Structure 1
Amino acid sequence: MSGIQYTVFFVITGLVALITYWKCRQNSRSEDSNREYFLAGNGLSWVFIAGSLTLTNISTDTLVGLNGAQAIVVAWWELGAVVGMLVLAKVLLPVYYRYNCTTTTELLEKRYNNPNIRATVSMLFLLGNLFIYLPILLFTGSLFMSNLFTVDISQMTIAILIATVGASYAIFGGLRAVAVSDTYNGIGLLIMGLVVVVLALVAIDFDFSGVPAERLTLIGDNDSDIPWHTLFTGMLFIQVFYWGTNQNITQRALAGKSLKEAQKGVYATALIRLLIIPPMVVLPGVVAYKLYGDIGDAAYGTLVKDLLPDWLAGAYAAVMLGTILSTYNSILNASAALYVCDIHEKYINPEVGVKKISIVVSLLMVILSIVMVPVYMDSKGIMALMQQLNGLLSMPILAAFITGLAFKEVDARAIIATVVFGSCLYAGFTYIWAPFHFIHMMFITLVCSVAFALVTNRIVFKQQASWRFGLT
């Protein structure tokens, strides 16, 4: 890494930190410590909601993972996200705001009138963050940085540095600092990401000849990462879960000044997702295939290193570090919210000091996520692996939300049993018997879980569920 790269890198990184500090100092504070620390005092405008939603989702796990597939078909992960965001804006946000929710899981408590279902689902979210999202993010972030720059530092050391700096935003600034830094880094990411796309296309003279046809199509066959028929089953519900019920993401939309402000932020995010993100997450990988062959998850970092001049590489490194930190600190803040609001205040101490216990939880998550990084270091196709593992949690949790929103007179104990059943069922599909693509298996898991909830509610708990018309 040259002197000019270091200079540009540290100047941009420091500038974003200073702007974030200044912006956060200007805002008034909410008297509700939970809403202040976890929802920025419900003071986010649509601009910061869109910025934070965009950057929390787009990080090295996406850029490295999707470009690592080196095929255009994986753009469906981003195109399909638009469906999830529309469901969030039109269907779920009005309900969250009506119930004044701090966490997405709070809605479950209020719909089922039972805090135990809220705590159960929160524990699943926390386990997913700890064993899937956080370590994979550290792995892909450190991999990208080590591929981009030639430095005499191990990948594990880089992962530790990322975790340490990322935690500082979440611990000391809460969601407000996270959202503000997200937005400014997000602007840089979109600009630099498109620059990489243009430079990549120029590098091959806009000529994709020699790249196999199956890597240049959006219609995936049965052997592709996303077969075309999965778009009509599990893909839709994966997106609804991720954007509509996943605390790591939805938390930003819960922090709006009003419901309309939050909806505007989600619509802006959907527009960015539709028009800007898809080329960023697939074209560099395909170009890397033509230039270097099948190099998997190393494709994006290698291409950026070869194409960008020194000063621009320093700027991009700063932006990419911002995206890594953004996603990492967002997950930490969401995890702290789930633990404090859904577990600690409910079962241990309702008068707990929010910031103090949040710091303890965040530090423990940081340490454990670092320990988990080596587990993923030999993985190939990290994005597909992440989605597959996520199915252990996503469909059972989504079944709990769908049943609670669509039916009345459902016993919470039936839902707790359903969450366990759904996780075990999908684990069986994943590790014992997989007759179909894992995206289809996620859809089957969801349908079976909802059916299990209704049958268990009727037979075991002697309650007849009835269709709930409307969302009140």
Structure 2
Amino acid sequence: MDWLSFTVFLVFFAFTAFLAWRKTRRHKIKTVSSLFLANRSLNFIMIGGALLFSNINTATIIGENELVYTNNMSVMAWGLTSVLAMLVVSELFMPIYLKTGITTTPDYLEARYDKSTKTIVTVIFLVSYVVNLLPSVLYTGAVAFNGLFKLSDVWHLDYWASLWIIIWLMGLAGCLYAVLGGIRAIAISDTLLGIGIFIGGIALPYFGFRYLGHGDWHQGLEKVLTAKTGHLNSIGGKNDAVPFSTLFTGMLLMNLYYWGTEQYIVQQVLASKDLATCQKGIAVACFGKILSILMLNVPGLIAVHLLSGLDNTASVFPALIRLTSPPYLIGYLAAIVFGASLTTFNAGINSASTLFTLNIYKPWREKKGPSFTERDLLRVAKRFELLACFCAVMIAPFIFFAKDGFYNYIQRVNGFFSLPIFTIILIGFLTKRVPPIAAKAGLLFFTFSYAILETVWPLKIHFLHLLAILFIITCVIMLIIGRIKPLTVPYRQELANLVPIHPWKHRYVFSIILILLMLGIFFLFSPLGLAKA
């Protein structure tokens, strides 16, 4: 272990934690609103930072660089098309959520359909977080941390045993952070780390190009742009990890789900002080997603020219850092990677607790009759965070055995939970008479069909296309049920907004700029740009 690197890591991480504590110590957590929504008081910088760094975690850093290394730049479509999805969500979804005054996305489903639909979706969210989201960010954080400091060699343990130890340490740190600080501390840390990741996003490619060019970063950059140019292509073919055609089918739907209905993402936005602040924060996050290519994809391009024959391709990012970076940068990037894991983990823990406490425990206690206090809810919320953390750290090490690349594993598993929820929410937005039974039938059909076609009878079709096909079929089924057995009284949205809902007047100008930047980057990394044969 390089002790200088480790010292830099400790100093930077402690500094970030200290600043978060300084900014939150005057805001005591006395209610569930302060724990889950920071009393709806966050500004647009905090919203943008929380959105971005809740999304950019070690799963994306490790997974996307791995796919660039093994395939090409087509994987960057996940991040770039998020820009379009976020703009749609900003304009169409968030006004509805803020007008109705919801705390969780299943709250909308209760208003639109019924309580049982809300409960079912809450359970799906909780399973998704405990089985997929929380374990995946812990696993990738452990992979990166072990790769940077070679802890398995320091401890004289095998790789898998080392992952167990690191995952437990990360889980403990993250859970304490979420329990003690709430969503305000998470948002502040996200903002600080968001700034840090862009500094690292510039520094790491610079040192990578410099190492590749034997001290001259210009030569290193020229080598990346002129040799093995197939890796520069973002327009994926049918055999690539992300075929370009999927951008217009399942990927678009997955991104709309993620930014518009995923609880741990939406909860960051619901904490904003008004709609205009929410929309500004989303625009900040969009700019961040465009710049994040420097950290998520460019290191994988450099690694193509420097690393070969890796036994575990998921280790390409930490391996590149150790090879090309000076000790102080290794420690700095280790703090960024560690923080990336914890911020998403913390947000997931916080949102899982929100869902359980408000959507399951609170209604159950209300049925029992005896009164309960905010203090009782806070105690239950924090206990559930501890339980979810324990489950996550027990599952995370077994992701080591996932096949076909870690990032593909995450997206495939997400399909079980994401699009069924998005489908019934979208139909709820667009119709007034589709009944609750249609929502339940849609959830059952979509989930069961996807499970069968992905495991028992796999089709020779990309899973994103499969998701799009099932989405269309499910929508048709719900509309047919709505025609046969419509609601007697059409759904009418009831306003219960708790914050001002005046939109941001400059949102269209910034939307056009962001879309042009997105299209320009696709053009740059294409056969018409840098990826010329």
TM-score by length of 1: 0.94
1:38-437 matches, within 5 Å, as: 38-69=36-67, 70=69, 71-112=72-113, 114-151=114-151, 152-153=154-155, 154-204=162-212, 205-206=220-221, 207-208=223-224, 212-274=228-290, 276-293=291-308, 295=310, 296-349=313-366, 351=372, 353-380=376-403, 381-431=405-455, 432-437=457-462
Partner of 2:465: 440
The Cα shift of 1:273 comes to 1.1
Pair 264,332 (structure 1): closer, same or farther in 2 beyond 3 Å: same
The Cα shift of 1:187 comes to 1.1
State, as a whole percentage, how many aligned pairs show the same letter.
29
Question: Match of 1:310, as an amino acid?
Answer: P
The Cα shift of 1:213 comes to 4.2
Question: Match of 1:79, as an amino acid?
Answer: L
- Paired residue total: 467
- Could you report, residue by residue, the CA deviation over 1:191-220 in whole angstroms, capped at 9, with x for unpaired residues? 112211222223331112785443220111
The answer to whether the 8 A contact 2:147-2:315 is kept is: yes
Partners of 1:249 and 1:120 in 2: how far apart? Answer: 19
The answer to whether the 8 A contact 1:147-1:298 is kept is: yes
The Cα shift of 1:163 comes to 0.5
Partners of 1:183 and 1:229 in 2: how far apart? Answer: 34
Question: Match of 1:365, as an amino acid?
Answer: A
Runs of 5+ unmatched residues, structure 1: none
Question: Match of 1:135, as an amino acid?
Answer: P
The Cα shift of 1:254 comes to 0.5
The Cα shift of 1:128 comes to 0.7
SS of corresponding position for 2:25: helix
The Cα shift of 1:347 comes to 2.5
The answer to whether the 8 A contact 1:84-1:243 is kept is: yes
Partners of 2:391 and 2:356 in 1: how far apart? Answer: 16
Partners of 2:309 and 2:465 in 1: how far apart? Answer: 27
- Could you report, residue by residue, the CA deviation over 1:344-371 in whole angstroms, capped at 9, with x for unpaired residues? 1123447362221111111111111111
Partners of 2:20 and 2:207 in 1: how far apart? Answer: 31
The Cα shift of 1:36 comes to 1.4
Partners of 1:416 and 1:373 in 2: how far apart? Answer: 31
The answer to whether the 8 A contact 2:2-2:149 is kept is: no
The answer to whether the 8 A contact 1:199-1:307 is kept is: yes
Pair 211,124 (structure 1): closer, same or farther in 2 beyond 3 Å: farther
Moved more, 379-388 or 162-171: 379-388
Runs of 5+ unmatched residues, structure 2: 156-161, 213-219, 497-533
The answer to whether the 8 A contact 2:138-2:171 is kept is: yes
SS of corresponding position for 2:389: helix
The Cα shift of 1:137 comes to 1.0
The Cα shift of 1:379 comes to 2.1
Partners of 1:187 and 1:242 in 2: how far apart? Answer: 23
TM-score by length of 2: 0.84
The Cα shift of 1:456 comes to 2.9
Partners of 2:478 and 2:331 in 1: how far apart? Answer: 53
Partners of 1:199 and 1:52 in 2: how far apart? Answer: 28
The answer to whether the 8 A contact 1:396-1:445 is kept is: no
Question: Match of 1:238, as an amino acid?
Answer: M
The answer to whether the 8 A contact 1:398-1:446 is kept is: no
The answer to whether the 8 A contact 1:410-1:465 is kept is: no
The answer to whether the 8 A contact 2:197-2:295 is kept is: no
Question: Match of 1:186, as an amino acid?
Answer: G
The answer to whether the 8 A contact 2:53-2:344 is kept is: yes
Question: Match of 2:433, as an amino acid?
Answer: E
Partner of 1:455: 480
Question: Match of 2:75, as an amino acid?
Answer: V
The Cα shift of 1:2 comes to 2.6
The Cα shift of 1:404 comes to 0.6
